[in-house]
Copies of this chain bind each other. A is one copy, B any other.
Amino acid sequence: MTTHPPRTDPRLESWRTFLRAHARVIRELERELAAEEDLALTDYDVLVQLAAAPGRRLRMSELADALLLSRSGATRLVDRLVVGGLVERVMCEDDRRGQWAALTDLGHARLRRAAPTHLRGIAKHFLDRLTGEDLNALRRMLEPIGEA
């Protein structure tokens, strides 16, 4: 068992700042998307992943990986979007191994309508509050951590 840093390790303040910044921005984005587009941020994320995929469809396991969710968490999200007509479950001719989720035309339209609100929020609460130099530094620092 390796040792752990003491609770008084001053580096922990950087970790807490990272958490707080994430929580605040996400909360604002959730609030704006719900208020202006009546859409949950988690739902928006599903639509984005499907829209970016070839043929606008993903195997459920791929979708879960892309969202960094468990398979059951992704299934619950998709179930809700299927009810709303934004996503449909499809079987693929050449792949009987698993269920796929596909973006419907309605889902695509919904995403296109909501995107400006979301992009405006990201700029307002995050991008515009940092210099280009800082954004580059942030990317360099956090890229290896995200790929771990």
Partner of A122, one of B12, B27, B129: B12
Binary CB contact string for chain A from 17 to 38 against chain B (1 if under 8 A, 0 otherwise): 1111111110110000000000
Q: Which residues of B contact A117 (CB under 8 A)?
A: 4
Residue of B nearest to A120 (CB): B4
Interface assignment of A134: CB less than 8 Å from any CB of chain B: yes
Number of copies of this protein chain within its complex: 2
CB of A116 within 8 A of CB of B4, answer yes
Interface assignment of A54: CB less than 8 Å from any CB of chain B: no
Q: How far is B126's CA from A142's CA once the two chains are assembled, in angstroms?
A: 9
Interface assignment of A83: CB less than 8 Å from any CB of chain B: no
Interface assignment of A132: CB less than 8 Å from any CB of chain B: yes
Q: How far is B19's CA from A122's CA once the two chains are assembled, in angstroms?
A: 11
Q: How far is B120's CA from A19's CA once the two chains are assembled, in angstroms?
A: 17
Interface assignment of A95: CB less than 8 Å from any CB of chain B: no
CB of B21 within 8 A of CB of A145, answer yes
CB of B23 within 8 A of CB of A127, answer no
Partner of A129, one of B27, B126, B144: B144
Q: How far is B15's CA from A124's CA once the two chains are assembled, in angstroms?
A: 12
Q: How far is B126's CA from A11's CA once the two chains are assembled, in angstroms?
A: 10
Residue of B nearest to A6 (CB): B119
Q: Which residues of B contact A12 (CB under 8 A)?
A: 119, 122, 127
On whether A4 and B146 interact (CB within 8 A), knowing A11-B127, A135-B14, A137-B137, the answer reads: no
